[in-house]
Amino acid sequence: MTQTRETVETHYHPASAPDYIPTPMLKKLQLERLQAIVRRAYDNVGLFRRQLDERGLAPSDMTCLDDISRLPFTVKHDLRDNYPFGLFASPMQEVVRLHASSGTTGKPIVVAYSREDVDVWTNAMVRTLASCGLSKGDIAQNAYGYGLFTGGLGFHYGAEGLGATVIPISGGNTDRQIMVMKDFGVTAIFCTPSYFVHMIERAGELGVDMRELPLRVGVFGAEPWSDSMRRHIESHTRIKAYDIYGLSEITGPGVATECACQNGLHVFEDHFYPEIVNPETGETLPEGQEGELVLTTLSKRAMPLLRYRTRDITAFIPEPCECGRTLRRIHRISRRSDDMFIIRGVNVFPSQVEAALLAVEGTLPHYEIVLTREKGLDAMEVQIEVTPEFFSDKIGALEDLQGRLVQALDHVLGIRVHVRLVEPHSIQRSEGKAKRLIDRRNLV
Ligand SMILES: [Zn+2]
């Protein structure tokens, strides 16, 4: 029953066939689906009908793919305003599943799936996991949360659909996660990258060396993470760490994924039509230029969304991928316009801070950004854990490291910020999405 690493990685799953569709055929399919989805949205959802009527647009105006840019955008606010069921295009009798994403404030966003929608989603997740080198025979530990969050069930159905063995352990209870990983011969782990970093650390404390386990693949998403973080994960384990992308509003995980090349994410554009727009003006940007990712669900029945503004910043990669997939790639998303904060007039993304910190030797991937206001001026302090050796070393080594971190941040951000080195375990660990930013400016 043992499979070598090589046979597992070269396994091809028939569900992946659409990943290699010739581009002219893909465009034809996209246009047919676009026409059908705009018709469906117009006929069944009040918001879309009003918006199209206001612009004097009819579903029949979608005569080519470029016509999509004539459609109005949908934003998160539209989902909140129509809470809970106002954007459904199917009667409740046809809705087989509801999920909800927790908002930072107020009511959540509710999303609906018909039987066909669940099938499309499952299929997209099978393709995602196949693209990350998983196959039948893998033993997959699914540490994404099960519940209203789409992560747990999305991965669960996908891994089962692929024929892998799923362990639906959900998030939390790290010691048990490590016991299961070791005792069940787990070969693949699904969770947020920050939680996996925590697992590596805890495994070390329990005397478990992850490099000695059969674990060979990690499929990480649900939060932006840097290549420095990937290097940290890959150097402390034997796994290949893959980045995937998705959002509940569109389907959940399964919108885009890396392939063996780990160089950008292929978008499953036969189901989710991607555009990159200027976040300020909404204008469509030329291929290769960085902007906000906008997605249209091409086959979603219960809750179609037209030109949904994701707030995620990325760009198309114009060159074809060496893996042979014809689906377009986007750069991995390291920035969300929602995460951005402004300090002394400078736009800062937590991921920039992460990349700068982790590039300096001696740091651990546990950090926090604390914003305060001192005498009316914004102040930013970055707290980061450093390896135990540094603390046992002479004081000079710590000062030297601190100086290098201040310089690294200055180089990336163009401002001097305060860096505080803290001992391992000082910063709270997360079992889901990590909270990197603490903004205390309004409390003063
Ligand atoms: Zn590829």
Condensed to tens digits (0 to 9), the pLDDT of residues 310-333 reads 999 999 999 999 999 999 999 999
What separation in Å is there between the alpha carbon of 269 and the centre of ligand 1?
14
List the beta bridge partners of residue 109. 101
How close is the Cα of 169 to the center of ligand 1, in Å? Answer: 30
Q: How far is the CA of 129 from the centre of ligand 1 (A)?
A: 13
* Cα-Cα-Cα-Cα dihedral sign, residues 154, 157, 161, 167: positive
Distance 67 CA to ligand 1 centre (A): 28
CA of 353 to the centre of ligand 1 (A): 28
pLDDT band at 384 (very low <50, low <70, confident <90, very high): very high
Instruction: For 123-144, write each residue's pLDDT tens digit.
Output: 999 999 999 999 999 999 999 9
Please give the distance, rounded to the nearest whole angstrom, from the Cα atom of residue 262 to the centre of ligand 1: 7
Tell me how far the alpha carbon of residue 166 lies from the centroid of ligand 1, in angstroms.
Answer: 25
User: Which residues have their alpha-adjacent CB atom under 5 A from ion ligand 1?
Assistant: 259, 261, 321, 323, 325
Residues in CB range of 69: below 8 A, 6 or more apart: 275, 284
Of 170-174, 319-323, 354-358, the one with minimum mean pLDDT is 354-358
pLDDT band at 103 (very low <50, low <70, confident <90, very high): low
Q: What is the pLDDT, as a whole number, of residue 284?
A: 97
254 CA → ligand 1 middle, Å: 15
Kindly tell me the sign of the dihedral angle through the C-alpha atoms of 154, 156, 157, 160: positive
* Residue 264 Cα to ligand 1 middle (Å): 8
CA 203 to CA 141: how far, in whole Å?
15
Q: Is the pLDDT of residue 5 over 50?
A: no
| pLDDT confidence band for 6 (50 / 70 / 90) | very low
State mean pLDDT over 111-117: 98
2, pLDDT greater than 50: no
Q: What's the pLDDT at 22?
A: 98
pLDDT at 21 over 70: yes
Mean pLDDT of 160-179: 97
Give 321 Cα–ligand 1 centroid separation in angstroms.
5
Ligand 1 center to residue 22 CA distance, Å?
A: 15
| Distance (Å) from CA 295 to ligand 1 centroid | 20
Q: Give me the pLDDT at residue 433, please.
A: 82
Q: What is the pLDDT of residue 435?
A: 86
Predicted confidence band at 8 (pLDDT cuts at 50, 70, 90)? very low
Q: What is the pLDDT of residue 178?
A: 98
| 19 alpha carbon – ligand 1 mean position (Å) | 9
Percent of the chain with pLDDT over 90: 77
- For residue range 283-303, list pLDDT tens digits in order: 999 999 999 999 999 999 999
Q: How far is the CA of 21 from the centre of ligand 1 (A)?
A: 13
Q: Measured in whole angstroms, how far is the alpha carbon of residue 114 from the centre of its chain? A: 24
Residue-level pLDDT at 378 = 87
Task: Please tell me the distance between residue 223's alpha carbon and the centre of ligand 1 in angstroms.
Answer: 21
What pLDDT shows up at residue 104?
A: 58
Higher pLDDT, 276 or 390: 276
CA of 73 to the centre of ligand 1 (A): 29
What pLDDT band is residue 12 in, cutting at 50, 70 and 90? confident
Instruction: Check whether 20 has a pLDDT greater than 70.
Output: yes
**Of the ranges 28-37, 102-111, 158-167, 403-412, which one carries the lowest mean pLDDT score?**
102-111
The residue-averaged pLDDT of 172-194 equals 97
**Per-residue pLDDT averaged across 413-427, rounded?**
91
Predicted confidence (pLDDT) per residue in 189-238, tens digit: 999 999 999 999 999 999 999 999 999 999 999 888 889 899 999 999 99
Q: How far is the CA of 41 from the centre of ligand 1 (A)?
A: 32
Distance CA 400, CA 403 (A): 5
State both tokens at 255.
Answer: 């919108």
Place 52 in a pLDDT band, splitting at 50, 70 and 90: very high
- Per-residue model confidence (pLDDT) at position 3: 45
- pLDDT per position as a tens digit, 79-93: 999 999 999 999 999
Q: How far is the CA of 369 from the centre of ligand 1 (A)?
A: 34
Residue 336 has pLDDT above 90, yes or no: no
pLDDT at residue 394 tops 60: yes
Q: Distance between terminal CA atoms of the chain?
A: 62
Report the mean per-residue pLDDT for the chain.
93
Given a cut of 80, is residue 105 above it in pLDDT?
A: no
> Which residues are registered as beta bridge partners of 244?
257
